[in-house]
Structure 1
Amino acid sequence: MIKKIVLIGGLIVIVLGVIFGLPLYNLHYSKIDGSEDQIIYIPTGSSLADVAAIIDETGVIEESTFLDYAGKLDFTDEKVEPGKYQITGGMKVKELVYALKNGNQEIKDTRITFSFCRDVYEMAGEVAPAIEADSAEIADYIMSSETISKYGFKEETICAMFLPDTYEVGEWDMSAEEFVQFMADQFKEFWSNEGEGRGNKLKELNLSQSQVSTLASILEAEQGLVTDEWPKIAGLYLNRVKDGWKLQSDPTAKFCWGDSLKGVQRLLDEHMKKDCPYNTYIYPGLPPGPIRIPSKKAIDAVLNAEKHNYYYMCAAPNNTGLHNFAETYSQHMANARLWWKYADERGY
C-alpha cells in the first residue's frame, strides 16, 4: 500500500513537473528554427503584433509562439524599437525576444552613398534603399518651403547642400528630417574654415557657397573625362564672371531642354537660343542654381581655380577629351575650325 502511494506520489510529481517545468524550461532554453543568420527590419511605429508577423516571415518562429514568449518576458507595444536587427542562427527564443526588446542586436552599420545625381529627386532615389524613409518622403521634405527656408536656401539652390559621398549614418531607422539634418551638418563641416580653408577661399572669390556649387556643376558637366582640367576651366569661367561676360557653356543650354537632348553630342545654334534663366548663351553671369549636384572635387576645383588669362576653350580635335584654350577670340576661332573639321569628318 505504501509503495503504491509512493508510486502515485512520484507520478504526480512527474506530471506536475512536466506541466509547470516544461514551459519554464522552454522559456529559457528553446531555440529558434534555422542555423543561418538573418537580417530583419522593424519599421517605426510597429506594434508587437507587427514584429511577430515580421519574425514569422523569416521562418524561425511562428507568430503565435513569439507573442506567447513576448508576453511572458514583458515585451509590449511600448517597448518595440525600430531598427535593423540580426537574428543569429540557433539563438534561444528568449535571447531573440530580449534582443528586440532591449535593442541588443540592432545593427548600426548603415551607410548612404550617392553620386552623379542630376537633382534632389535622383539623389533621394539613391539614398532611400539604405534608410527607412522612402524616396518620395525624402524629396518632398527637402523641397518643402519650410525646409528650404530653415536651411537658408532657395528652391534652385537647395541641392547644393547635399554633397555626394559615402556617409556612415549608423542606424537604419532614419527619417527624411533626420537625413536632411545629417546632410546639413556635413555641409557645414565641409565649408568650415578648418583643414582646407574653404571659407577663406570663398571670400577671395567673392561668391556664395551656392554660387560656387553652381559653377562646379557646370564645370563637372562640361568636362566629365579629364578632371585635371577642372582648375583651368574654373579659372576661365571665373574670368568671364568677373568681367561680366556670358559663360556660353553648352551644358547650361542643354539643361534648358531637359531630356529632349539626351544623348546629343553636338549642340547646334538653335539649341543655344532657348530662352531659359539657366542658358548662359543668353544671360550673363551664373545661372540661378546648380545644373546637377556637384562633387566635392569639383567644388574644390573652383575654390582652387588656376589664375590665367584664358576666356575661351574648345574641344581638342584628338579624341582625348581635352580642350584647347585661348585668350583672344581670333585664337579661339582657329581652334574651333580645327574641331569642326574633325567633327564633320567623323559625323558628329
Structure 2
Amino acid sequence: MNVKKLISIIAVAGIVIATAVGIYVYFKAFTSNTQFSQDEIYVYIPTNSTYEQVVEIVKPLVKDFEKFDFVATSRNYSTNVKAGKFLFKKDMTSFDMVRSLRLNVPVQVAFNNQETLDKLLQRLSTQLEPDTLVLKEAFTNEIFLNENQLSKETALTLFIPNTYEFYWNTSATKIANKMAKEHQKFWNQQRLEKARILNMSPAEVYILASIVHKETVKADERPRVAGAYLNRLNQDMPLQADPTVIYAIKATTGDFDQVIKRVGGKNLFVNSPYNTYINKGLPPGPIAMPDISAIDAVLNAEKHDYIYFCADPSRPGYHAFETTYEAHLINAKKYAEWVNKLGIKL
C-alpha cells in the first residue's frame, strides 16, 4: 500500500470518526431534553449549592439526565455552580439549560401597605432567598440602626413603597444596604427642607404619613387631613386618630389579621403607646407603610384652621372638616347615625 493511499484511508477514517463524534455531541447537547409541560419554569439554586444538590433540583425537569450531565461536565458547570433564579423554557436542549444556569434572572420586588416590619419581611422572604429571621437581623441589628438613625420602632420608616430590582440570592445585608441607599435617595434636599420647616425628622414625617394614609384613601384629601393633624400637634392637642387605636388593639392582641371597622367606647382607652387618644404627640413608630402620596401630603400639607374632622356620609371616602368642636359634634352625630343604620357595631 503506497503512502498516498494510506493517507487517504486515514483521512476518510478521521472524517468518519469526527462525524460520529459530532453526531454524538449533537445528540447529547443539542436535542430537546425537558420534561415539563409549562412554557417556562424558574429554577432556584440556593447559595453554596453543590452540583449534587443542583442535580436533585434539576433532575425532575430533565428528560435524559445523562445528556444534561454530559454537557454540564464538559462545560465545567459541575465544578462552577452559580446560585440564583434561572429560566428554563420548554424543549430546551441540554446545552441551553446549562447556559441558562449561568444567567441569573433579576427579581422585581414590590411592596406597599404593610402594617409592620415583620409583615414586610415575610413578604420579602417569599420573593428573595433570605428567610424572615435573617432579614430581620439585617434590618434591626444595632449597627445598622445607628448608621441610619433608626430604632427598632422606626425601622419600617426605612422602606419607601416602590418596585426594586434584586437578584434572588442577594444577601440580607446587601438588601438592607440597598434599601438604605434608596431611602437616602428619596429624602432629597427638597424633601428634607420641607421636613425641617415642619420641625420634623424624616422618620416623624413617615409616622404621621402612615396615620394620614390609614385615615383616608383619597389622595386628593390627604394634604387637608395632614394639615388638620399638624394643627393639633402645633396646639399640643392629642392627635386622637382612630387608625392608631386600631393599630394599638392589633399590637396588644398580637393579631394583625383582625378586621376592625369601628372604634369607640373602651377601645379608645386601650393601653398602648400607639394610642393617640391617651398619648400626646406621634406614636413611637409608623402604624403602616404609607404611600408616597401620603408622605408628600404631610410635606405639602394644606394650610388651614381645621382641627376636627370625621367621615362624611354624603361623600363616601371623604371627611367633613370643622374649626370648632361644637360644629364637629353635629357631623359626628350624623356619621354615628349613618353607621348605626348600616349595622356596623363597636
Q: TM-score range by the shorter chain?
A: 0.7 to 0.9
Q: Paired residue for 1:134?
A: 131
Measure how far apart 1:21 and its partner are: 6.8
Does residue 220 in structure 1 map to residue 213 in structure 2? Answer: yes
User: Take 2:273 and 2:104, find their aligned partners in 1: how far apart are those partners?
Assistant: 49
Q: How does 1:1-348 map to 2 (within 5 A)?
A: 22=20, 25-27=23-25, 30=28, 31=30, 32-34=32-34, 37-62=40-65, 64-77=66-79, 79-100=80-101, 103=102, 105-108=103-106, 110-169=107-166, 171-193=167-189, 197-224=190-217, 226-258=218-250, 259=255, 262-318=258-314, 320-348=316-344
Question: 1:227 is paired with a residue of what secondary structure?
Answer: coil
Gaps of 5+ in 2: none
Gaps of 5+ in 1: none
Letter in 1 for 2:240: Q
Letter in 2 for 1:238: L
User: Take 2:256 and 2:96, find their aligned partners in 1: how far apart are those partners?
Assistant: 57
Q: TM-score, normalised by structure 1?
A: 0.84
Measure how far apart 1:86 and its partner are: 2.6
User: Take 1:340 and 1:86, find their aligned partners in 2: how far apart are those partners?
Assistant: 56
Measure how far apart 1:14 and its partner are: 6.4
Question: 1:133 is paired with a residue of what secondary structure?
Answer: coil
Question: 1:241 is paired with a residue of what secondary structure?
Answer: helix
The answer to whether the Cα contact below 8 Å between 2:321 and 2:328 also exists between their aligned partners in 1 is yes
Q: How many residues align?
A: 329
Question: 2:77 is paired with a residue of what secondary structure?
Answer: coil
Measure how far apart 1:233 and its partner are: 0.7
User: Take 2:75 and 2:336, find their aligned partners in 1: how far apart are those partners?
Assistant: 78
More divergent stretch after superposition (65-74 vs 316-325): 65-74
Q: Alignment RMSD, CA only?
A: 2.9
Question: 1:310 is paired with a residue of what secondary structure?
Answer: coil
User: Take 1:321 and 1:73, find their aligned partners in 2: how far apart are those partners?
Assistant: 61
Q: TM-score, normalised by structure 2?
A: 0.84
Measure how far apart 1:246 and its partner are: 0.6
User: Take 2:93 and 2:124, find their aligned partners in 1: how far apart are those partners?
Assistant: 35
Question: 1:122 is paired with a residue of what secondary structure?
Answer: helix
The answer to whether the Cα contact below 8 Å between 2:34 and 2:92 also exists between their aligned partners in 1 is no
Question: 1:265 is paired with a residue of what secondary structure?
Answer: coil
More divergent stretch after superposition (334-343 vs 182-191): 334-343
Measure how far apart 1:203 and its partner are: 1.0
User: Take 1:335 and 1:280, find their aligned partners in 2: how far apart are those partners?
Assistant: 21
Letter in 2 for 1:111: Q
Letter in 1 for 2:188: S
User: Take 1:61 and 1:137, find their aligned partners in 2: how far apart are those partners?
Assistant: 38
